[in-house]
Structure 1
């Protein structure tokens, strides 16, 4: 796989992978933060996750730093420390909170300057610690939106910044259709509607997530008004690079190896039909608010 752009590079693309679970056919378990089985499954291949997920746009990191009253940052659902390392490079002092001990261990190993507490954020005990910013990269949907916002308000200093963000891949129809076909073949009894989840416009599930996030911040009643930030990018993947990303997506982290191989083969064939690479547009979307 080619080397991904450096976090400090202006050309750093957003992640090509959505971590949202596919939508179940029934209303049960339809809230991502209730799906702990998916939320805590990414550590099964933590090194692939860190390798395959590109970094966040430098402009977003710079804006977070500029909007924060100081350098002390709490990274919620920090994973392997992708955003934490970028913020550290920008001069911040970062503490991560991560429920998966495997992800936390790799985050500490890759950046010895980043400390990580292993806990679910809603249950995490901050003690007397306070922060100038609370951030969360592609992870806030795994957290109860009201309880999470209230916990963030409780650890932020006055005028501290809450910024939660996602990298949204705008996948082409031929690729998503091929993957949906394969998912239906290998998981015919799954309660998830893979076709609806994979082929609908990417803005649909993320609009719901953004709205729930903003509603949770308002309900928590510790913040001023919310703002939405957006950064648009595109990035070209080789066949191998994209197939390295797919197993890090929430829909596939628990899929048995044989079934995963069939899904990846379908995606690879679609990319082969395009000449062996695929250029996809992305939107990095953030909801931000200031502590009262």
Structure 2
């Protein structure tokens, strides 16, 4: 009897590739999302904010100028003939290195000079903000006041505001007497204010009294008294008298939230570090 041989061919399936491609794809999508988010943030950021971010992340040991003015030679160079200071940028010099005459002013040069001054002012303001924040970070016992202390740049300079929150005030109700925590905050920032060149303008503000509940103290007297109390604490902590430019009470005329002038956040005392004009070389004064 003949033997019947049956051959069964087994078809092999596709090799198992695993899930590595899924991880790679997820990383790619995440990177693209991060990239587009970064581009969006850059497009929404002002020039002043970009400068501030650059200053925040710049190493403290590096000079912020493009020249060697921040180094040991203070912008001078050494050659075989000795140490020679470089000629002023806006002066025309002869072959002997002596200044002949100042170049005539022009709208373009004036605009460039104003831009340099604004940039220097912005950099100084962000440096002042960093100094104040660092002073507050050395006091962990006032960490619960983080929502009551606001440090923001403005057109006038830098505002340091002590703001009331619902349930936590910086001054006693209806009084010009600050709480002890408020006094500690002011004494913490006083050394930084003493070292900065900015003059200080202190203004007191309050919320509008709700109908039917007139305040025990008039808003003008209350805000002026609180501003004076802040000035006295700073002066007692070492801030010189010539650092103070003005002390005023604004009552309820400048609420933070005009749509709701009754809320507690409108009660505040603001210390403004006024813009300090950078020194101008004599040959640029025209």
Q: Could you say whether these structures have the same fold, taking a TM-score greater than 0.5 normalized by the shorter chain as the test?
A: no
Give the TM-score normalised by structure 2.
0.29
Higher-Rg member (1/2):
2
Relative contact order: is structure 1 or structure 2 higher (C-alpha 8 Å, sep ≥ 6)? 1
